Amino acid sequence: MIEPLLALPPSVALALAGALEMGIVRAPFTRASVGATVRDASLVDGVTASLTALQATGASGRSTGAWLRALVASRRRVPSPSLAWSGPQVPGLHQRETDTILDELFQTVRDELWVTTYVIYGGRRLLAPLATRMVARPGLTVTFLMDVKRGSGDTRPATQVAEAFARDFWAQNWPSGTRRPRLLYYPRSLEPSSADRASMHAKVVVADGERVLVTSANLTTKGVSENVEVGVMLHDRALASTLIDHFRVLLDAGHLAPLDG
């Protein structure tokens, strides 16, 4: 129940810490008293509930304030965002290559991985480290969000197109004989009329609810190593949580669907 506190911007967290330590905000916590310090109305209810839950465990306002200060301090020691580049290697330019970052994420993810891409080619090579990691860590859950395209003149039912895509993915892009990830797609991409279609165009990797790669690169050999592509690698629990929650809400609302095949 402390997630709303974890998601607070540093300035708000420090203001709340001070108010708790000085007794300006104290139990019983109310929306009015918390809102006087946490001025963002969208945050007040969650913070109030979190403070009430912590108080019920015996945590004092002073101890909660100290914890908030320590949380902000620890986050300031988190690595700064770094750029992820694909393209020519030029002497004198310091850069982290997209394929290197992907390999690192795939080889070190512990519990949960989300991957979105618009295009995938050469997946067996690119995804081999992830397949190996899934074997090594049976509890690791992996979800791919894919774009499924309807070719010109293809009038098959959407379910048939999606099933064929999934079969091709397993045959061409996933290392055979290994544990499989979950595949999701955006059904609107297969609307019969091209005017009604939309794409899964995001290119994001979220690892363990804390590391996020946002990139222009698709999961292709050229995309992660040869095309000129740029992205950013962040260590940000709030951003990671927001992305995962967004995907889950889309799935629950029927805007994403499983790929079978």
CATH number of domain containing 199? 3.30.870.10
91 and 172, same domain (yes or no): yes
Q: What is the pLDDT of residues 18-36, one digit of tens each?
A: 989 988 998 899 899 888 8
**Which of 76, 99, 133 is the last residue before a domain boundary?**
76
**Which of 35, 56, 76 is the last residue before a domain boundary?**
76
214 and 159, same domain (yes or no): yes
167 and 241, same domain (yes or no): yes
Helices (H), 7-60: 10-21, 31-35, 41-56
Residue 53 CB burial class (10 angstroms; 0-12, 13-18, ≥19): middle
137 and 242, same domain (yes or no): yes
What was the pLDDT predicted at 211?
95
SS3 string of 231-243?
A: EEEEECHHHHHHH
What was the pLDDT predicted at 164?
94
Global pTM reads: 0.70
* 70-74, 187-191, 256-260: the lowest-pLDDT one: 70-74
**Which of 56, 76, 96 is the last residue before a domain boundary?**
76
Residue pair 146/164 in contact (Cβ under 8 Å)? The answer is no
99 and 224, same domain (yes or no): yes
Q: Quote the domain boundaries for residue 50.
A: 3-76
69 and 184, same domain (yes or no): no
How far is the C-alpha of 106 from the C-alpha of 128, rounded, in Å?
A: 9
Mean pLDDT for the stretch of residues 252-257: 95
Q: What is the pLDDT of residues 79-114, one digit of tens each?
A: 678 889 998 887 766 667 999 999 999 999 999 999
Domain count, the chain: 2
123 and 193, same domain (yes or no): yes
147 and 227, same domain (yes or no): yes
